[in-house]
Amino acid sequence: MNQKQQGKLGIALVGLGYYSENLLAPALQETEHCYLAGIVTGTPSKIDKWKSKYSIPDSNIYNYQNFDSIKDNPTIDIVYVVLPNSMHAEFTIRAAQAGKHVICEKPMAMNIKECDDMIAACKKAGKMLSIGYRLHFDPYHREMIRLGTKRVYGNIKKMSAAFGILPDDPNQWRLKKALSGGGPLVDVGLYCIQGFCYTTGLDPIAVSAQEGPKTNPVKFKDVEQSLTWQMEMPDGIICEGKTSYTEDINFLKADAERGSFELSSAFNYTGQSGRTPEGKMQFPHVNQQAKQMDDFALAIKNNRPTPVPGEMGRRDVRILEAIYEAMNTGKKVTI
Ligand code: NAD
């Protein structure tokens, strides 16, 4: 019996870069409700390797030009957009128009208008849209959500988080604003924003932000090198974030009335470690991407909403825009 006959939904990955090759394709070997059915690539030299490694038939291999004909392929149920950020909107909309459900990587898009167009295209096609927010399916982050939203240690007073990585290739798309939409904030700072929102269960009402110094103005001529920001949530909760492309930082912390709970490291694919006032968190380490894609497949099969819909991606793009506005004007921006 092939995977389709086993009732699994077929996923086509669009863009075969680092994340697809090293995380999503391997995760799709562990999923129970979906499988790697197809690929869409602009680089023909990658095809042979993918084809033989994952037994993908020629009929399920597309390029960016003939991608729209995927509409005639009933073995592909879900298109997963894993391209540079500036290409998310185009391929999400084309996938929806081809009658496919869509997972789009983070950040959802370059601006609110694109988010609205993506949501509208999926609605019009009657298809579901979700964002690749893998941490919602990680037990350590689920515990942060439980402790925070259930106010297990009383009301949260303050949150803090930082995520910084060290991209080495000076020519990569992440450093080109036209392709990325911004620097570390949109790439990894977004995880701190997500952590603030899902731990408190709240959306921010105002933001302030400060760009960090550029010690490498050539490499970071187009985007910020680092950034700090403050989000004011309802109930007087203050969230302080930091993101960087030159500092390896990684934690998420909540200070509540009866103690603090935190993850450090927080945002990686694995290796989370957590503490509460009662001691160390003990949860299994899971394949986040497998859990995320299986949950979306089940949402489609059971006709229930995804916990990480396009609307959440849109909310976050709105917050990103407000943070950049605050950074550029030096003023507090209301959301
Ligand atoms: P990558 O550079 O490794 O891969 C990008 C792919 O897009 C490559 O296959 C490349 O050939 C293709 N591409 C098409 N047009 C391009 C162009 N004009 N310039 C550059 N590449 C082009 O990037 P990645 O790290 O795989 O990231 C892809 C997407 O996935 C991004 O949106 C990123 O934010 C997201 N991502 C998410 C996670 C996560 O944990 N959820 C992790 C990594 C990346």
- Exposure string of 302-317, with b = 16+ CB inside 10 Å and e = fewer, is eeeebbbbbebbbbbb
Taking the centre of ligand 1 as the mean of its atom positions, its distance from the CA of residue 283, in whole angstroms, is: 30
Taking the centre of ligand 1 as the mean of its atom positions, its distance from the CA of residue 212, in whole angstroms, is: 25
282 sits in which H/E element: none
* Cβ-Cβ contacts under 8 Å for 271 (sequence gap 6 or more): 265, 285
* Averaged pLDDT score across all residues of the chain: 97
Residue 140: active-site member: no
Q: What is the pLDDT of residue 1?
A: 66
CB of 16 within 6 A of ligand 1: the answer is yes
Pocket test residue of 83, 103, 194, 222 for ligand 1, highest count of atoms within 8 A of CB: 83
20 sits in which H/E element: none
* Cβ-Cβ contacts under 8 Å for 27 (sequence gap 6 or more): 287, 288, 289, 290, 293
What mean pLDDT comes out for the span 315-329? Answer: 98
Residue 244 pLDDT > 70: yes
At residue 172 the predicted structure's pLDDT band, cuts being 50, 70 and 90, is very high
Nearest-CA residue for atom 5 of ligand 1: 17
Tens digit of pLDDT for each residue in 192-213?
Answer: 999 999 999 999 999 999 999 9
At residue 14 the predicted structure's pLDDT band, cuts being 50, 70 and 90, is very high
- Give the integer Cα–Cα distance in Å for 133 and 51: 27
Residue 249 pLDDT > 90: yes
DSSP β-ladder status, 259-263 and 274-276: antiparallel
Residue 15 pLDDT > 70: yes
Quick check: 283 and 140 in contact, CB under 8 A?
A: yes
Pairwise pLDDT comparison (103 vs 5), residue with the higher score = 103
Taking the centre of ligand 1 as the mean of its atom positions, its distance from the CA of residue 207, in whole angstroms, is: 28
Tens digit of pLDDT for each residue in 281-320?
Answer: 999 999 999 999 999 999 999 999 999 999 999 999 999 9
Residue 172 to residues 104, 158, 222: CA-CA distances in angstroms? 20, 36, 12
Tens digit of pLDDT for each residue in 29-63?
Answer: 999 999 999 999 999 999 999 999 999 999 999 99
134 sits in which H/E element: none
The atom of ligand 1 lying closest to the CA of 174 is 2
Using the Cα atoms of residue 132, residue 138, residue 142 and residue 148 in order, give the sign of their dihedral: negative
Residue 145 to residues 6, 203, 232, 285: CA-CA distances in angstroms? 34, 14, 18, 17
Quick check: 295 and 27 in contact, CB under 8 A?
A: no
Nearest-CA residue for atom 17 of ligand 1: 84
- Give the integer Cα–Cα distance in Å for 332 and 146: 30
Name the token pair of 156.
Answer: 């949260």
pTM of the model: 0.98
The atom of ligand 1 lying closest to the CA of 20 is 26
At residue 159 the predicted structure's pLDDT band, cuts being 50, 70 and 90, is very high
Q: What is the widest separation between alpha-carbon atoms in the chain?
A: 61
Tens digit of pLDDT for each residue in 95-109?
Answer: 999 999 999 999 999
- Give the integer Cα–Cα distance in Å for 227 and 241: 8
Residue 128 pLDDT > 90: yes
From the CA atom positions of the chain, what is the Rg in Å? Answer: 20
Phi, psi (deg, nearest 5) at residue 162: -145, 140
The 3-class SS string of 148-206 reads: HHCCCCCCEEEEEEEEECCCCCCCCHHHCHHHHCCCHHHHHHHHHHHHHHHHHCCCCCE
The atom of ligand 1 lying closest to the CA of 132 is 41
At residue 6 the predicted structure's pLDDT band, cuts being 50, 70 and 90, is confident
81 sits in which H/E element: strand 78-81
Residue 280: active-site member: no
